[in-house]
Every structure is written in C-alpha cells, then in structure tokens.
C-alpha cells in the first residue's frame, strides 16, 4: 500500500554518534586538547554528544535558533568538563562542521535495506539539518542517489514535528497520505509529527524506548523493516 518512504537522516541512516566521535577524536589530537586538561577524546566526545543532543532537541521545539547551537555547544562542553574556555585557542565548531559531514558511516544494515527497497518504493529524506551540510553527509556516505526529494527545514520553512514539513514533503513528492510512510529515530519530531498529518510511521528505536502513543511499527534493527515492507 505504501509507495513513498520518507526517511530521517541523522541517527536514522547516518550514524551521527560514530561520525561525531571520530571527528571529536581527530580534533582532540590536532588541537592537543590534552594540554588544556581534557582527559581523553572519549570523555570529550561523551559530553559533546549529550550537550549537542539536548541543544538539537531544544531547536526542534523552537526554543533556540540554529546559530545558538553553533555558538554555544563547545563552550558548554568546556564548562561541563571544568575547563577554562579562554585556554582553548582554536575554533572547534568550525573544524567540527568541516570534519563531521565528511564522515561516511551509516548505521548497521541501513545501506543494505536501502538497496533492497530502491526498486520497490520512491524514497525521500526529511531532515531538520541544514541543506548544505546534509548534502555533504549523503555524498560522503554514498546514499544521495537513493532519494528523489530531500526536504530540509530550510526549504520547507518549518521543522519537524511541525505538520507543515510533512505536508510540504508529500506535495513535493506527489504523494498522498495513504501511500506515505515516515521512518525515523526521533519520537517527537519524526513519529508524532508524521502522525499529526495522518501518515503511518516506523519508529527506528534501537534502544527500545517506550512510547505512549504507539507508532505504526517499532523496530530495533534495520533488517526488521524488510519484514514490514
């Protein structure tokens, strides 16, 4: 019954945490962050991931602007680590934005599943990330060719979970609600957002989080999607 599959990108297909940890580890070496008192790349990465995730959740809920994330995330990490930010001389955010989208890692089996689905469905991306960065990520991971429409918060002029984004995406794809399926890892942004316009949903839920308002399908692993579709 589905013809159009709409995928989220970060943490759904593209392995954000792994790619981010690699970028952070490189920066830790390049900028010799041991010298400013950061114990290890793993420690640096752990704090960065937690803070970055919280900031993106605030952004999804329109509590902060995108520029706030870029400006404040590394200073927040230094504070969490008890580091005086004046001792860090480099523009870590600029370097992170250069390194991160060039990382190629996808989540386990994401590529195999996309290969399996490509002849059966028309596939699209709906992401709250920024167009330029997301395009580099998809090129780096060699997945751009799977997708017909890429909707970002910039071109939809709204972001998930706003229903406008899903309406915009279906219109751009020429898809009806009944033939559309939204697949994502973010319960609020992807699942509740898509449900609000009547789309069926697949919650990519590798950590087995509980959800009150059930998605149409809940999967722990990408291989389970093949059984559904």
Interface positions with Mg ion (CB under 5 A): 8, 10-12, 185-186
Nearer to Mg ion, 15 or 28 (CB): 15
Nearer to Mg ion, 8 or 200 (CB): 8
8 Å CB contact between 142 and 168? no
The residue number whose beta carbon is nearest to Mg ion equals 11
Nearer to Mg ion, 9 or 99 (CB): 9
Counting Cα atoms < 13 Å in the Cβ hemisphere of 62 gives 7
Can you list the alpha helix ranges (DSSP code H) found in 2-40?
16-30
Nearer to Mg ion, 12 or 23 (CB): 12
Nearer to Mg ion, 83 or 131 (CB): 131
Distance in Å, CB of 116 to Mg ion, minimum: 21
Question: What is the C-alpha separation between 125 and 182, in angstroms, rounded?
Answer: 9
Question: What is the C-alpha separation between 138 and 66, in angstroms, rounded?
Answer: 21
The neighbour count for residue 81, using CB atoms within 10 Å, is: 18
Distance in Å, CB of 185 to Mg ion, minimum: 5
Phi (first) and psi of residue 50, to 5 degrees? -65, -45
Distance in Å, CB of 149 to Mg ion, minimum: 17
Distance in Å, CB of 169 to Mg ion, minimum: 15
Can you list the alpha helix ranges (DSSP code H) found in the chain?
16-30, 41-60, 66-80, 92-99, 110-117, 131-140, 153-156, 163-173, 193-196, 223-228
Distance in Å, CB of 127 to Mg ion, minimum: 8
Nearer to Mg ion, 81 or 182 (CB): 182
Q: Which residue from 212, 216, 188 is spatially nearest to 200, judged by alpha carbons?
A: 216
Distance in Å, CB of 57 to Mg ion, minimum: 11
Residue with tokens 């920024």: 130
């Amino acid at each position: 019954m589905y013809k159009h599959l709409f995928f989220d990108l970060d943490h759904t297909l593209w392995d954000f945490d792994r790619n981010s940890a690699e970028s952070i580890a490189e920066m830790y070496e390049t900028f010799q962050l041991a010298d400013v008192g950061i114990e290890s790349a793993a420690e640096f990465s752990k704090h960065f991931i937690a803070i970055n995730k919280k900031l993106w959740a605030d952004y999804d809920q329109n509590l902060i602007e995108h520029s706030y994330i870029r400006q404040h995330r590394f200073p927040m990490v230094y504070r969490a680590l008890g580091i005086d930010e004046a001792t860090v001389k480099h523009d870590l955010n600029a370097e992170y934005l250069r390194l991160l989208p060039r990382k190629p890692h996808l989540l386990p089996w994401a590529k195999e599943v996309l290969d399996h689905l490509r002849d059966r469905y028309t596939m699209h991306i709906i992401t709250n990330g920024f167009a330029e960065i997301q395009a580099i990520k998809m090129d780096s991971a060699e997945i751009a060719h799977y997708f017909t429409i890429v909707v970002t918060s910039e071109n939809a002029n709204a972001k998930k979970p706003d229903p406008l984004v899903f309406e915009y995406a279906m219109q751009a794809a020429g898809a009806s609600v009944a033939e559309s399926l939204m697949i994502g890892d973010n319960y609020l942004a992807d699942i509740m957002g898509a449900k609000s316009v009547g789309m069926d949903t697949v919650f990519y839920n590798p950590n087995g989080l509980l959800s009150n308002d059930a998605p149409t399908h809940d999967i722990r692993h990408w291989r389970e999607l093949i059984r559904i579709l």
